[in-house]
Chains A and B, each alone.
Chain A
Amino acid sequence: MTESTKVKVLDKVVVRFSGDSGDGMQLAGNIFSSISAAIGNEISTFPDYPAEIRAPQGTLSGVSGFQVHIGKGVYTPGDKADVLVAMNPAALKTNIKFLKKGGVVIIDTDSFKESDLKKALYNTNDAITELGIDPSQVMTVAITTHTKEALADSGLDLKSIVRCKNIFALGLVCWLFDRPVSQAGLMLSHKFAKKPTVAEANIKVLNDGYNYGHNIHASVSTYRIESASVKKGTYTDVNGNTATAWGLIAAAEKAKLPLYLGSYPITPATDILHELAKRKDVGVKACQMEDEIAGACSAIGAAFAGNLAATSTSGPGLALKSEALGLAVMAELPLVVIDVQRGGPSTGLPTKTEQTDLLQALYGRNGESPIVVVAASTPANCFDMAFNAAKIALEHMTPVILLTDGFIANGSTAWRIPEADEYPEIRPNYVKPEMADNGWRPYLRDPETYVRHWAIPGTEGFMHRLGGLEKDAKTGAISTEPSNHARMVAARQAKIDYIVNDIPDLKVLGNPDSDLLVIGWGGTYGHIYSAVTEMCNAGQSVAMIHFNYINPLPRNTEEIIRRYKKVVVCELNNGQFASYLSGKIHGVDFLRYNKIEAQPFTTSELVEHFAHLLEK
């Protein structure tokens, strides 16, 4: 009887969907997270695609996963899952390590036949025992059989029917977590709008999956997940790459400039190119160039010609762009460079995450070549930081590098769609018509901000020549005069330094009255913040600051850091930010917590490490 079903109330829960890459796990996971968000949960998701494009079906290398964390106080996709859905033995084998102690496994018994087990390289005919799983944790359901029965009269062919089994599993999970299947049904009709029979079939099995749980497994406890009190508005699910692309478009709209993207495909940055290529529908010119150099160079050309110009890439591509970035520094043109960091060096670990491009971004150019470097901290924050990067570039006539990473680029969160008036104006320093006859020269600067004027080709009266050769500060003609060079180097630096006035101060998170200050930057925010919050809630006092702005650093950086007895910098590299900070703030012992496994932090490892630091 349903009335007697046990209901557990939880703050948050992690569900991991896994199966063959053809099993539709991403779709099931996506729908599950979206409907959870729609009923007021915070969400964070992370897809785990197989490295191979088309691995043989049922094999270990063909497993695809999708982890979703829902509830209240959700800042990461979660270290481990409370519930693991495994559609085949290969998925079970590769994903069992992501299951929490005492977590629940749901398997499709139809795909655990001898031949399936063989493909996944099991030694016995009993996957559960072989993997040492407690059978009482396992919910066995003949998912494929039920799906076939449900759709016997659907008129679909067998292949299409079997393809719906992911949605049966989704229905079951919806029942387990008390999700509204009607909402999931709406999303399916949207997804399959062009194939009404397929939509209908999916909605049927969705309900059957839900009812199956309700009727057959009435004794299993279900969960109620706490809602967060989120801001009113219209929401969507967004990953970091899409958010980055949208942030650029939003900036172009604000600045009333066309957006140009020059790019070359590279994992994990390519989806930015994909999204902006689609956005021709709002006037974006996204050009796939012949290489990364051309991506950056064409963007510099577009900036010269008066567009908001951007180029997107990952570490190896940033290396190729470095000479061009030097040109943008010298020509003082606005340019947004997006580096979605991945494991390096060289080709490294293309699909995995790392924060190892920081020093490349800061220093990877010849000459004294200061550049603005900013970093996004969450998938949704990619929108804000892409917008801010563009604003800084346009208003300060400088290239800006935005660092994101594979983790936040592919991970997603719920995001409230902002109204245009929620973000600030962008006011580039254009030449004014009256300047034409009044001694205007291309490298004359605003005395306070050191920003030169932007004169866009096509404008009468402002014909000028830019270039990579050093220019005379006054006339803009080529100059090798020693004191002029010193003066120009200083001016380019002062221009970047001045930007500190346009960026927000740091806020101390966690418990400010602590002995321990935890420092992070970029995409590690979710894990560090979760660890700090967890510890503070448990009565352990930890303070935290997190950097979105790296060059220049926020004004109160030094003052905050000097307040603390112990300072630890956590980053997914060998200590690049720590060494950068040490170079700027002297006499502070920056402890380091570094991970270079091309994986994000886990909240638990951070908690453990911080606790250890508090004890010492």
Chain B
Amino acid sequence: MEENKKYTAQDYKSDQYVRWCPGCGDHAILNALQKAMAEVGIPPYKTAVISGIGCSSRLPYYMGTYGFHTIHGRAGAIATGVKVANPELAVWQVSGDGDGLAIGGNHFIHEVRRNIDINILLLNNKIYGLTKGQYSPTTDRGAVTKSSPYGTVEDPFIPAELVFGARGTFFARSLDVDTATSVEVLAAAARHKGASVVEILQNCVIFNNNIHSYITDKEVRAERTIHLHHGEKMLFGKEMNRGLVLDGHLLKAITIGEDGYTIDDVLVHDATTQNFVMHQMLAMMDGHELPLAIGVIRNVEAPTYDGEVTRQVEEVRQKKNYPTLRDVILSGDTWEVK
């Protein structure tokens, strides 16, 4: 049976030459996605990858699945149509920070709110790559870019906040340089029913080089990130001897054995609790005072939009039992001319 066939990452590759700049974070993300798809095992012909416009949005061309590189900002709306029309498909969306959160911000919050079963990859390089280096809605305040020569005078979005604000059911984060975590969270996103947002911090070597280095550099990564696993203690650090505890209503990073803290004080991550207050606090950590959270931060169940549309159509259909349109019309006010 085809369904039982084991797929490899190779099965999800297309014959197209990959054209991102050498060293661009997108290369690693593409590989991680293909590995995750192989791991989940939905066949390439039952997979559709939809993107908007941007460097990151070129990704579908490199996939051996069905793909659609659409228009700037609209990937979410188009992916929504694909999923509702053909719920059997595994639908992925690939958007940059500009594509997904600026021009496409409206579609983004609505697809999350609807909880349509799409896996949304948000490749966040905090810059407009394709148009050669303008600031984006995730660019830090004050950043000097081509369109902000004196620094930006606006605050960025934190994508997770938008997701929780839109009552999202799944949020995960990874780093382009951390393929293992990327594969893990992408596979988890694929398995989650509903809108699954995966933010991947991506380096644009050309227009925003090292923008995430503070967190992603090998020497500091273990201290400045925490990999959350559902049901496990929130531990981090090279020696895994640091942890997160509650201090009043706020999170605090402690070292086990210091200041009287023991392993028992360290919080256990619960990604599946409906209440998003803790998820929000975790997602807001930025690697400075508290480590930046990677892994699956929130993963809860809720009815999906596509599932509900299908269910409602079936329910009404059975109840009314009209074989065709003509039967519907004949059930209204009509008259005969003989």
Is the C-beta of B14 less than 8 angstroms from some C-beta in chain A? yes
Q: Is there contact, CB below 8 Å, between A285 and B335?
A: no
**Closest A residue by C-beta to B320:** A281
Bound Cα distance from A34 to B332, whole angstroms: 12
Contact with B along A224-247 (1 / 0, CB 8 A): 000000111111110000000010
Q: Is there contact, CB below 8 Å, between B81 and A458?
A: no
With A298-B84, A309-B81 known as contacts, the answer to whether A458 contacts B326 (CB < 8 A) is: no
Q: Specify which chain B residues have a CB less than 8 angstroms from the CB of A489 in the assembled complex.
A: none
Residues of B within 8 A of A (CB): 2, 14, 16, 43-46, 48, 50, 53, 60-61, 63-71, 74, 77-86, 88-89, 106-107, 110, 309, 312-313, 316-317, 319-320, 322, 324-326, 328-330, 332-338
Chain A residues 276-320 with CB under 8 Å of chain B are 279-285, 287, 289-291, 293-294, 297-307, 309
Q: Is there contact, CB below 8 Å, between B67 and A466?
A: yes
Bound Cα distance from A165 to B329, whole angstroms: 30
**Closest A residue by C-beta to B15:** A477
Of the listed stretches A111-119, A323-331, A344-352, A544-552, name the one at the interface; the rest are far from the partner chain.
Answer: A323-331
**Closest B residue by C-beta to A460:** B45
Is the C-beta of A467 less than 8 angstroms from some C-beta in chain B? yes
Bound Cα distance from A300 to B82, whole angstroms: 8
Shortest beta-carbon distance from B117 to chain A in Å: 13
With A282-B325, A283-B317, A460-B2 known as contacts, the answer to whether A302 contacts B88 (CB < 8 A) is: no
Bound Cα distance from A236 to B186, whole angstroms: 54
Chain A residues 434-478 with CB under 8 Å of chain B are 456-469, 477-478
Is the C-beta of A103 less than 8 angstroms from some C-beta in chain B? no
**Closest B residue by C-beta to A227:** B337
**Which among B2, B14, B85 is the interface contact of A309 at CB below 8 angstroms?**
B85
Bound Cα distance from A418 to B329, whole angstroms: 10
With A187-B333, A230-B337 known as contacts, the answer to whether A463 contacts B88 (CB < 8 A) is: no
Is the C-beta of A40 less than 8 angstroms from some C-beta in chain B? yes
Bound Cα distance from A462 to B43, whole angstroms: 13
Q: Is there contact, CB below 8 Å, between B322 and A294?
A: no
Q: Is there contact, CB below 8 Å, between B337 and A458?
A: no
**Closest A residue by C-beta to B67:** A465
Q: Is there contact, CB below 8 Å, between B329 and A246?
A: yes
Q: Specify which chain A residues have a CB less than 8 angstroms from the CB of B337 in the assembled complex.
A: 40, 230-235, 416
With A282-B317, A285-B309, A458-B86 known as contacts, the answer to whether A260 contacts B81 (CB < 8 A) is: yes
Q: Is there contact, CB below 8 Å, between B84 and A287?
A: yes
Shortest beta-carbon distance from A307 to chain B in Å: 4
Q: Specify which chain A residues have a CB less than 8 angstroms from the CB of B79 in the assembled complex.
A: 301
Q: Is there contact, CB below 8 Å, between B85 and A37?
A: no
Q: Specify which chain A residues have a CB less than 8 angstroms from the CB of B320 in the assembled complex.
A: 281
Q: Is there contact, CB below 8 Å, between B336 and A235?
A: yes
Shortest beta-carbon distance from B112 to chain A in Å: 11
Q: Is there contact, CB below 8 Å, between B14 and A465?
A: yes
Shortest beta-carbon distance from A34 to chain B in Å: 6
Q: Specify which chain A residues have a CB less than 8 angstroms from the CB of B53 in the assembled complex.
A: 468
A-B contacts besides A279-B328, A305-B48, 6 pairs, CB < 8 Å: A234-B337, A297-B107, A304-B82, A327-B70, A458-B45, A467-B68
Interface size on A, residues (CB 8 A): 73
Bound Cα distance from A568 to B298, whole angstroms: 67
Q: Which of B2, B70, B312, B324 is the most central at the interface, judged by chain A CB atoms within 10 Å of its CB?
A: B70
Is the C-beta of A419 less than 8 angstroms from some C-beta in chain B? yes
Q: Specify which chain A residues have a CB less than 8 angstroms from the CB of B328 in the assembled complex.
A: 279, 281-282
**Which among B44, B88, B322 is the interface contact of A282 at CB below 8 angstroms?**
B322
Q: Specify which chain A residues have a CB less than 8 angstroms from the CB of B60 in the assembled complex.
A: 465, 467
Bound Cα distance from A463 to B329, whole angstroms: 40
Q: Is there contact, CB below 8 Å, between A305 and B89?
A: yes
Is the C-beta of A359 less than 8 angstroms from some C-beta in chain B? no
Bound Cα distance from A286 to B337, whole angstroms: 33
Q: Is there contact, CB below 8 Å, between B326 and A294?
A: no
Shortest beta-carbon distance from B318 to chain A in Å: 9
**Which among B68, B106, B313, B319 is the interface contact of A285 at CB below 8 angstroms?**
B313
**Closest A residue by C-beta to B87:** A305
Q: Can you list 30 A-B pairs, Cβ within 8 angstroms, ordered by A?
A: A34-B335, A37-B335, A230-B337, A234-B330, A234-B335, A236-B329, A281-B316, A281-B317, A282-B317, A285-B84, A291-B106, A293-B74, A294-B77, A299-B81, A300-B78, A301-B80, A301-B85, A302-B81, A304-B78, A326-B71, A456-B86, A457-B66, A458-B46, A460-B2, A463-B64, A463-B66, A464-B66, A465-B60, A465-B67, A468-B69
Shortest beta-carbon distance from A308 to chain B in Å: 10
**Which among A230, A246, A280, A463 is the interface contact of B65 at CB below 8 angstroms?**
A463
Q: Is there contact, CB below 8 Å, between B85 and A306?
A: yes
Q: Specify which chain A residues have a CB less than 8 angstroms from the CB of B64 in the assembled complex.
A: 463
**Closest B residue by C-beta to A296:** B77
Bound Cα distance from A252 to B255, whole angstroms: 65
**Closest B residue by C-beta to A306:** B86
With A246-B325, A417-B330 known as contacts, the answer to whether A301 contacts B77 (CB < 8 A) is: yes
Is the C-beta of A432 less than 8 angstroms from some C-beta in chain B? no
Q: Specify which chain B residues have a CB less than 8 angstroms from the CB of A467 in the assembled complex.
A: 60-61, 67-70
**Closest A residue by C-beta to B72:** A323
With A457-B66, A465-B61 known as contacts, the answer to whether A294 contacts B107 (CB < 8 A) is: yes
Shortest beta-carbon distance from A569 to chain B in Å: 35
Q: Is there contact, CB below 8 Å, between A307 and B86?
A: yes
Q: Is there contact, CB below 8 Å, between A280 and B45?
A: no
Q: Which of B68, B320, B324 is the most central at the interface, judged by chain A CB atoms within 10 Å of its CB?
A: B68
Bound Cα distance from A359 to B53, whole angstroms: 28
